[in-house]
Amino acid sequence: MKFHTSAAFVIAASLLHISSNDGYSSQGGVNAYSFTPQSRRDIRSSPAFVGLGPSRGTLNQNGKSLAKSSSLVMKETNEKFSLSSLFGNSSKAKKASNTQQSKVATAPTTTAVMDPHPSVRDHINPLNQMHPSKIKMASSFSEPNSLPIHPNIRSGVLDNGLSYVILPNKSPAGRFEAHLQVFSGSADELEPQQGIAHLTEHVAYMGSRKRERLFGTGSQTNAYTDFHHTVFYAACPTYTPRSNGNIPMLPMALDALCDVMEARVEPSRLEKERQAVLSEMTMVNTIEYRVECQILATLHRENRLAKRFPIGKESLIRSWQTDDVKTWHRTHYRPDNVLLYIVGDVNPEEAEKIIEEKFGHITAEKQAKEIKLQELKPEASKLADAIVRGKDVIKARQSWHYPPIKHEWSFGSNPEFVESFKISPEEEKSNREIYDLQLQNSYDLDESVEFLTTTEIVPGKKIRPHIFRHELLQAFSFHLFAKRPVEPINNIESFRRSLARRVALAALQIRLNVGGRSDDPAFTFVEFNQLDSAREGCAICSLDMTAEPHRWREAVCKAISEVRKLGVHGVTPSEMERYASALMTDAEQLAAQGDRISNGDQLSYLMETIANGHTFMSPEQSYEITRKALSTLTLEEVNEAAKKLCAHVTCINENEPANDGVVIVTACSPKGPEPGDAAYCDEESLVKTVYEACQIEVEPEEDVPVPHTLITEDDLKKFMEEYPPSWESGKFTDGTPDTPADKLTRPFTLRRLSNGIRVGVGSNPAESQRGHLRITAPGGRDAEKRLGLKLGSMAVGSRTMQEGGAFGPWTREQVELFCVDHLLMVEINCSEEALMIDFVFPTTNVGNVGFGDDIQLGITGTEAVLQIVREIIVGFHWEEDALGRSKQSYRSAHESLQKNLEGKSTETIMETMTNSDKRFLSVDVATVNSITLEDAKTAIMSQLYPENIEISAAGDFDVQGVLDMILKYIGTIPTNANSEYRLKAKDAEDSVDKQFGSIPTLEKPGKFLELELTDSDPRAVAYVAGAAPNMWGTLADGSTVAERVMAADKGQSDYDRRRRSHPLFANVALSLLSEIINRRLFSNVRERKQLTYDANFSLTGFERLKGGWFLVTVTASKEKAQAALEACKETLEALRKSSKVTADNLESAKRVVLNRHDGELRSSSYWTALMSGIQEESIPLKGPLSVTDFNAVVEAITVKDLQLTLECLGLEDDELYTAIGRTVAPEGYVPDNEIVKASPMAGMGRGGALTG
């Protein structure tokens, strides 16, 4: 059950957006300019947004590029509509400028004429297919095969050239998001400006006083910088809270974004943000980050991206003054170079008026006047000329969203697209002599790196290899890439091709996941995908894989052979049927969700769709197009798509003709192995292995028979006869009366089955046609100690179950394909206190065969899940090969932990605080190796007896219908199921002891720990930790927060006593306190003292164990680590004594907590988390009241409550445990003091091994 269906349908989704994510959440939570890692797999595929595969540029109906010249674009227009605004330096913009100039001319104190802006050039309007002219043409049905555009979308261009797009969306009602996208990022930086786009983003938004007006309103603000753009956003309620006057917030949000366009660059703010960025450079520089740097630099060696990573050069960042930042800002933050998005509960007509009011006065000429460094104007002008001059520059030729780069295309690209970007060697040489746009020459600030060469293995077949070795690497990783032009999806034909690609990609990924996991798999992870990337201006086809170092050759050959098999033989008829049906179900779910898709999701898809020139459709429109396309999609079309996807691999075979593309290969390997060692890999052996792998003969895939149901009706009838089920009342420990066994209750129906299994079911229509189910079995790693199980057996056993999946007569492969057919995702985890098995599933009929009138419906996803739940409990097969994969996973995880500064530091402080209690530490290699299959099986099955199981389900379904299915499938499990595995607690005499103990008592005084990790790059992390209650307010000694608060407040009223006696009081108080502490840490440690990029306070969140810990984590330079640690301690002390919680602090925190709760209620997974443990005696304060009374308890909390709750944390100086982890250079390492490394943003993962 390792397979997650996200691999099947979340394939070939619209571009992965990966970028540096900066900003403080004005809700109160600290996002404090943190780079947010996002995998390519994070973007869900959706026909509703046509982000299904390769996206497209601006093409006409014949597939010819319209971006080639301005005249070509002009010719396509309707004469009644002026297309002048398709260009940033349009006549409208010039008219606005002239109007502005004429106004200025009448003022006696100003100059009559302004200088032109050095960077403004005629260019494609960034609205692409969402330009008003395109929408008008689409609505007129001038092209019968064109895709329909979302009927509610509205776009426009102001007279000054600023473009905007508005999408009304009431999910959630009463909120909206506004995003300002500036089409300049690190790829636009000049040589002395490396890193300035990112620094300017910090200064522009963090320095905005109008942004500060959004604080305390329940708004969130943030910003991020990438290669190709900088984005600022505000997510707000439509009106301020009543306590703030109930004022419309769209004007306030646009004020803040307009303030970004006219940013003041104050010296004090510049210095604060300089220190934040410098701290950030240290924080993000993990080994995973450095691997991603190597991959991206190799992949884009032929263009600017290899030398223009967003975080920039440290030496430059330290040197810039206000004029440097203001020069960058005024050069790039101009109306023709931005696009404003508004999505949410807004009136489009009113929004357009506000946009004009707030942004209409800004002009490029006005910005040009404030460019401070005049000597950079000519350089900026040269860069702008080079961008629009080159026929091969994708920014000017295809989409203004793209970076100003060119690409070396790989085999398998669309020939027409490749031809449209091609220039002669003479023209390329001439362009480069005029201006080295792609930075192929050497420059003073370049890193001293080994020059990469492209190997021509045989005539016409080229591979660009690169090896990265480092002492912190534990596993071998392999990354093979092809770059292809982003193709358009704006008509039926292109849409069909995108569906064919998705089917082919899904087939290969499932083969790799299911068939590739043999008894002794060569690789530990593998993924193949192709996604459009606006940030890189191309479609990236990637094969990512990890393996044990000594088996790298075998793993490479296996992975490449699977790719070749798809390219040569295509998919089977059953695979075609399976994944086409999955795509149809996906489209149905999104159409059913309709206007319930969240603002954030809508905006993400809208931004990616516009960037790549796709047609943005409504979910209903997309469903109809998908239905029509899939009903006639042929196996031949899918196999043709498979052939093109894999062409860069299949073409390397010696029997295939030569091509003019290049294949990019990067391998990352531990330092140490020498030539001759099986683990040694260099460029020559890497190229040789790839070539040899492409010569291996491949056979067609064989179909595996997949059951349509795991349990037949006859089986169910037999179960009902042997073990007649019935319902019993739900019972609670929070004071709630028993719930009836025969009636539905709200918001959840809570009951127990006659066999002892607790059940909670709730209807959540917010996620249309989707559901979430969780099995909870209290125990977890605490059971290892309490029941005398073998150390690590619960953890390794849960992973073994995840790696396995054979039930009854069915093999693992059949069960996994059953999950694929029914769109089920299964995840099994073991925490310190529970075993949890989570399922995500469709609530409609799935596994269907055929389309339209010929469709044969399968069972519902809900029923499929319940069949698997039953089999997990009573019919699971434990397999040695699954144990082997589980043990390898834990070995790798532990070994990697020892080479990770944050991981090793956290482990060290936890080891000290717990006195080496294994329940709270990672499972070491020796422990993993000692665990047998019987150990793993005994541990897990000892928890899976009916009396210990709770099942919580929420989704878009009929509650009574789900209860009826649960009664049949789960109620018929025998009461004594797995009784042979039940164990007594070591100190119990007559029965199994279910009582959870406490966390270890912290010894006094606390300790200060220092540790070192060998690493060539300097980094540091510091921690402050201590005792805390669990999330329900119980401390390690058994006392509670409520008891301590009431004992401390001698003058409390009866009302206060009743409030504090509520089961949810401590839970809510701790949540609010966490928000306030995080805000204080941000203000003091980052803003005032400028010691860090980020400091974070968190609680362990145990529910069953008594007690817990708090942990403050702060990243800093090695030199500032001690000062940062002391500043965190000072912040906590001040909150207790000199700078206590204020009413404003509390009100802001309440808005954060309530908004987060309201937002998460849209998620069925949140509902199941709320229900889990609600009938469990080991969480006595968790019950129905914790759900029904949440808002009331939050609103009733007072400042005094929080101040007294704070005293329940171990914050005295002798109670604190502190630690600093630092890196030390390897022996003999000589640092390069002359050149400071440029680092790309954290989280630039290209999926697969980098983000797994």
Under a CB-based contact definition with an 8 Å cutoff, are residues 925 and 895 in contact?
yes
CB-neighbour burial class of residue 44 (10 A; exposed 0-12, middle 13-18, buried 19+):
middle
Query: Rounded CA gap, 233 and 258, in Å?
Result: 11
Report the SS3 class of residue 1009: strand
Query: Rounded CA gap, 538 and 56, in Å?
Result: 10
DSSP string, 675-738: TTSTT---HHHHHHHHHHHTTS--PPPPP----S-SS-HHHHHHHHHHS---EEEB--SSSPPP
The two beta strands, 461-470 and 662-670, are parallel
Identity of residue 1219: A
The residues, ordered by sequence, that sit 6+ positions from 426 with a Cβ below 8 Å of its Cβ are none
As given in the structure block, the two tokens for residue 833 are 């206190």
Under a CB-based contact definition with an 8 Å cutoff, are residues 33 and 1094 in contact?
yes
As given in the structure block, the two tokens for residue 732 are 């609670």
Active-site annotation holds for 1010: no
* Helix residue ranges per DSSP H, 1082-1188: 1121-1136, 1143-1160, 1164-1171, 1185-1188
Taking Cα atoms as reference points, which of 931, 930, 971 lies closest to residue 951? 971
Taking Cα atoms as reference points, which of 766, 720, 725, 727 lies closest to residue 744? 727
CB-neighbour burial class of residue 997 (10 A; exposed 0-12, middle 13-18, buried 19+):
middle
Give φ, ψ of 1036 to 5 degrees. Answer: -60, -30
Query: Rounded CA gap, 482 and 530, in Å?
Result: 9
Marked catalytic residue, from 177, 189, 201, 863: 201
Marked catalytic residue, from 273, 280, 562, 833: 273
Under a CB-based contact definition with an 8 Å cutoff, are residues 465 and 29 in contact?
no
Under a CB-based contact definition with an 8 Å cutoff, are residues 126 and 610 in contact?
yes
Unique residue bearing structure tokens 């319930």: 596
849 - beta bridge partners? 856
777 - beta bridge partners? 835
CA dihedral for 455, 457, 458, 464, sign (positive or negative):
negative
In order of 1068, 1170, 1172, 1182, the CA distances from 1189 in angstroms are: 11, 13, 17, 12
Q: Which own/partner contact pairs does 432-437 have at CB distance under 8 Å and 24+ positions apart?
A: 434/386, 434/389, 435/382, 435/383, 435/385, 435/386, 437/304, 437/383, 437/386, 437/387, 437/390, 437/393, 437/404, 437/406
DSSP assigned state of 1250: G
As given in the structure block, the two tokens for residue 377 are 């104007």
Under a CB-based contact definition with an 8 Å cutoff, are residues 1092 and 1166 in contact?
no
As given in the structure block, the two tokens for residue 134 are 């395109």
Expressed in angstroms, the distance from the first to the final Cα of the chain is 17
How far is CA 414 from its chain centroid? 30
Identity of residue 1190: F
Query: Rounded CA gap, 1172 and 829, in Å?
Result: 14
CB neighbours (10 Å) of residue 636? 10
As given in the structure block, the two tokens for residue 1235 are 């050149």
Q: Which residues of 96-110 are buried (b: 16+ CB within 10 A; e: fewer)?
A: bbeebbeebeeeeee
Active-site annotation holds for 816: no
- Which positions are catalytic? 201, 273
